[in-house]
Amino acid sequence: MGKHGKSWKVPAAEALRAKPDIEVADFDASATPGFAGDKKSGNELLVERGEHLAELQERLYAAGRSGDHRSVLLVLQGMDTAGKGGIVKHVIGAVDPQGIDHTSFGVPSEEEKKHNYLWRIRNALPRGGQIGVFDRSHYEDVLVVRVHNLVPESVWEKRYDEINRFESKLVESGTTIVKVAMFVSLEEQKERLAERLDRPDKYWKYNPADIDERKRWPDYQEAYQAVLDKTSTDVAPWYVVPCDRKWFSRLAVTELLIDALERLQLGWPPADFDVEAEKKRLAKA
């Protein structure tokens, strides 16, 4: 369940877990489910919890170095401007880069297109002791691919089950998967796109195609609805994070990672040598 900080009325992992009856079209992206505090207390808590996350991550890394095969995989999915990059910078940025294995999945390369859609995902899975971070993921193959009819329905409709089987095996092999669906409202997205057009230091983040995608918003909502309905499993549930308030989404993902790491019950690896004997050797060395 994970400890919940002073301002969480309900632990994040409970408050944000996708409910079976979730309606994406009615989702309030400006809400702060489970959290009683405001922006100021949220930002203060983020610093404190980021430090806790960093300590837990060090334990995971230490365990990996000592032969523990377990890992954590954070999957970030969301519409443009939802703030995936901000999560990487502000949440993942709080922990030691040595223990992070980050991959962005864009339009598949020529090489990637030659293989099944899970091929590039398998190649990017975290090793034991690492936190893998996926900025977009195999879910693109039932989101953008579905919305744009990049493959026939007969192909993508089979992928939900394939993904569930893939993730189930991954969990069995020791990877804790934290799947985060990041939802921003159409209005907030407009403001964020406008900011990119107002600031020359943000032009590089702007893509004219993003505006075309806005017209397909209902299609994306439908595609996300199917993802949540079909792939939120007991072993790899989805967490749905409202992202109109950046401070909240960052705090929320921090808590979800803390929850995942705490469930691993990581101690420090015991010495695999005779400590006292080594102290004597060192004294003479």
DSSP 3-state of 2 = coil
Closest CA to 126 of 94, 158, 174, 87: 174
Query: Any contact of residue 109 with a copy of itself (CB under 8 A)?
Result: no
> For residue 284, what are the CA distances in angstroms to 54, 274, 276, 277?
35, 16, 13, 11
Min CB(22)–a copy of itself separation in Å: 26
Query: Any contact of residue 269 with a copy of itself (CB under 8 A)?
Result: yes
State which of residues 26, 200, 234, 265 lies at the interface with a copy of itself (CB under 8 A).
200
Structure tokens at 121: 């995902």
The residue count of the chain comes to 285
State which of residues 46, 100, 170, 184 lies at the interface with a copy of itself (CB under 8 A).
100
- CA pair distance 264, 131, nearest whole angstrom: 13
Query: Any contact of residue 72 with a copy of itself (CB under 8 A)?
Result: no
- For a copy of itself, the closer of residues 48 and 96 by Cβ is 96
Query: Any contact of residue 215 with a copy of itself (CB under 8 A)?
Result: yes
Instruction: Output helix, strand, coil percentages for the chain, rounded to the nearest 5.
Output: 55, 10, 35
Judge contact between 9 and 35, C-beta under 8 A: yes
State which of residues 102, 136, 216, 230 lies at the interface with a copy of itself (CB under 8 A).
102
H/E segment holding residue 74:
strand 71-78
Backbone torsion region of residue 5, taken as left when φ is above 0, otherwise alpha when ψ lies between -120 and 50, otherwise beta: beta
Min CB(117)–a copy of itself separation in Å: 22
Query: Any contact of residue 70 with a copy of itself (CB under 8 A)?
Result: no
Find the part of the chain contacting a copy of itself (CB under 8 A) among 35-43, 119-127, 176-184, 269-277.
269-277
Min CB(279)–a copy of itself separation in Å: 5
* Unique residue bearing structure tokens 């009856």: 21
- CA pair distance 232, 243, nearest whole angstrom: 20
Q: What are phi and psi of 36, to 5 degrees?
A: -95, -15
Query: Any contact of residue 268 with a copy of itself (CB under 8 A)?
Result: yes
Considering only residues 115 to 144 of the shown chain, the ones binding a copy of itself according to CB under 8 A are: 133, 135
Query: Any contact of residue 208 with a copy of itself (CB under 8 A)?
Result: yes
Query: Any contact of residue 107 with a copy of itself (CB under 8 A)?
Result: no
Residues lying near a copy of itself in the complex (CB under 8 A): 62, 65-66, 85, 88-89, 92-93, 95-98, 100, 102, 104, 133, 135, 190, 193-194, 197, 200-201, 203-206, 208, 211, 214-215, 268-271, 273, 275, 278-279, 281-282, 285
